[in-house]
């Protein structure tokens, strides 16, 4: 049985900490874009990006850092993410959402995120990815 102090510490753990902190978030983003860049199942979303993914990698890292409860790097540099507005120039439907999630789930698995945490993270990210849809289906 956990002591009250241990229970309180467990409640205060952010997703950022649970995932392994800044280094693990960076690894996750790098693996995500490596998968997107090479997996034919992600061709649709890959085509939405420039050939050089450096800027996309950095922006996703900064966003995920804050989104997971870590340093608010994206907000400090760019202000509020306004995710939906920033993605409006791209046609995003269920297929694009699913391609993005395919890459993210694979990345979570490949960087060694424990299964329960991977599922929790993927479920939360699915909500974000689904919110980006702007194509009537």
137 in a domain, yes or no? no
In this structure, is residue 19 part of a structural domain?
yes
CATH code of the domain containing 49: 1.10.490.10
Mean pLDDT value across residues 10-33: 92
Burial of 108 (0-12, 13-18, 19+ CB in 10 A): buried
pLDDT in tens, 87-98: 989 999 999 999
In a domain, 3, yes or no: no
Largest CA distance in the chain: 52
Task: Look at the alpha carbons of 109, 113, 119, 120 in this order and tell me if their dihedral is positive or negative.
Answer: negative
Check: CB of residue 49 under 8 Å from CB of residue 58. no
Phi, psi angles (nearest 5°) of residue 62? -65, -45
Q: How many domains does the chain have?
A: 1
In a domain? residue 9? no
- Residues 22-46: tens digit of each pLDDT: 999 999 999 999 999 999 999 999 9
Query: What pLDDT, on a 0 to 100 scale, did the predictor assign at position 136?
Result: 85
Domain of residue 97: give its range: 15-131
Asked if residue 10 has pLDDT above 60, the reply is no
Does any domain span residue 99?
Answer: yes
- Decide if 4 is inside a domain: no
- Is residue 5 very low, low, confident or very high in pLDDT (cuts 50, 70, 90)? low
Q: Which two tokens stand for residue 22?
A: 């800044």
Residue 137 banded pLDDT, cuts 50, 70, 90: confident
Residues 50-81 have pLDDT tens digits of 999 999 999 999 999 999 999 999 999 999 98
Residue 136 in any domain: the answer is no
HEC secondary structure over 92-133 = CCHHHHHHHHHHHHHHHHHCCCCHHHHHHHHHHHHHHHHHCC
In a domain, 5, yes or no: no
């Amino acid at each position: 049985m956990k002591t009250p102090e241990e229970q309180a510490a467990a409640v205060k753990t952010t997703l950022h900490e649970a995932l392994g902190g800044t280094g693990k978030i960076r690894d996750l983003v790098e693996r995500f874009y490596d998968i997107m860049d090479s997996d034919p199942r992600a061709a649709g979303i890959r085509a939405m990006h420039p050939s050089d993914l450096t800027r996309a990698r950095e922006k996703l890292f900064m966003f995920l850092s804050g989104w997971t409860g870590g340093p608010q790097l994206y907000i400090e540099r760019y202000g509020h993410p306004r995710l939906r507005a920033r993605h409006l120039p791209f046609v995003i439907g269920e297929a694009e959402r699913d391609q993005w999630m395919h890459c993210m789930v694979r990345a979570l698995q490949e960087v060694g995120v424990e299964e329960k945490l991977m599922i929790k993270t993927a479920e939360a990210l699915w909500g974000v990815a689904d919110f980006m849809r702007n194509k009537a289906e």
